[in-house]
Structure 1
Amino acid sequence: MVHDFIEQESSPPIFPASSNCLAMDHQAKYFALQEILGKMTEAEAKVLDSVLKHMRSNKEVEKTSSFKKWLVMNLKIDGFNASICQTSWVTSLGCPAGDYEYIEIIVLKEENGKTKSSRLIVDIEFRSQFELARPTPSYKELTDTLPTIFIGSEEKLNNIISLLCSAAKQSLRERGLYVPPWRTTTYMQSKWLKVTANSKNNIGYRENKEAKSGSHHGFSIWSPPMVKPKRRDLSSGGGGSALSSQFSNMGINCC
Structure 2
Amino acid sequence: MGRLEEEILLQMVNDFIELGSSPTRDTNTTTTVTPDHDDHTKCYILQEIVESRNGVESRVVESVLKHMRDKMECDEKSCGGLKKWLIKRLRMDGFSASLCHSSWPTTLSCPGGAYEYIEVVVVEEAKQQRGIIDIDFKSQFEVARPTPSYKRLLQILPQIFVGEEDKLRRTLSILCSEAKCSLTQNGLHIPPWRTATYMRFKWLSSTQISTITIQTCC
**Normalized against structure 2, the TM-score is what?**
0.77
Which residue pairs with 2:210 in the alignment? 209
Unaligned runs of 5+ in 1: 1-14, 196-205, 214-255
Offset of 1:38 from its aligned partner? 2.1
Q: Kindly tell me: are residues 62 and 131 of structure 1, through their superposed partners in 2, closer, same or farther at Cα, counting changes over 3 Å? A: farther
* Structure-1 separation of matches of 2:64 and 2:165: 19
Is 1:161 the counterpart of 2:148 in the alignment? no
- SS where residue 99 of structure 2 aligns? strand
Q: Which residue of 2 aligns with 1:17?
A: 22
* Partner of residue 134, structure 1: 145
8 Å Cα contact 2:76/2:82 also seen in 1: yes
* Structure whose residues are more often helix by fraction: 2
**1:162 corresponds to which letter in structure 2?**
S
Q: How far apart are residue 53 of structure 1 and its match?
A: 1.6
Q: Does 1:101 align with 2:106?
A: no
**Residue of 174, 177, 197 corresponding to 1:186:** 197
Q: Counterpart of 2:120 in structure 1: which amino acid?
A: I
Q: What secondary structure does 1:59 align onto? A: helix
Q: Deviations over 1:56-82 (max 9, x none)?
A: 222376799621111111111110000
2:30 corresponds in structure 1 to none
Task: Indicate conservation of the 8 Å contact 2:97/2:119, yes or no.
Answer: yes
Contact 2:76 2:85 in 1 (8 A): no
Deviations 1:65-101 (A, max 9, x none): 6211111111111100000001011110041111110
> Of Structure 1 and Structure 2, which has the larger fraction of its residues in strand?
2
Q: Which blocks of at least 5 consecutive residues in structure 2 are unaligned?
A: 1-19, 25-32, 214-218
Larger radius of gyration: 1
Distance in 1 separating the partners of 2:194 and 2:47: 21
Residue identity (%)? 49
Query: Secondary structure of 1:117's match?
Result: strand
Query: Residue deviations 1:94-153, cap 9 Å, x none?
Result: 41111110001001121xxxx121100011001111111110011011011100111000
The two structures have a TM-score, normalised by structure 1, of 0.67
Contact 2:110 2:197 in 1 (8 A): no
In structure 2, C-alpha distance between the alignment counterparts of 1:92 and 1:62, rounded to whole Å? 36
Q: Secondary structure at the match of 2:71?
A: coil
Partner of 2:156: 145
* Cross-structure match for 1:47: 60
Asked whether 1:66 is paired with 2:81, we answer yes
Do 2:39 and 2:149's aligned partners in 1 also have CA atoms closer than 8 Å?
A: yes
Secondary structure in structure 2 of the residue aligned to 1:178: coil
CA distance in 2, matches of 1:72, 1:173: 39
- 1:117 counterpart residue number: 128
Q: Relative to structure 1, is the Cα distance of residues 184 and 62 closer, same or farther in structure 2, using a 3 angstrom cutoff?
A: farther
Number of aligned residue pairs: give it.
184
SS of match in other structure, 1:87:
strand
Aligned mates of 1:38, 1:191 — CA distance in 2: 22
Q: CA RMSD in A?
A: 2.3
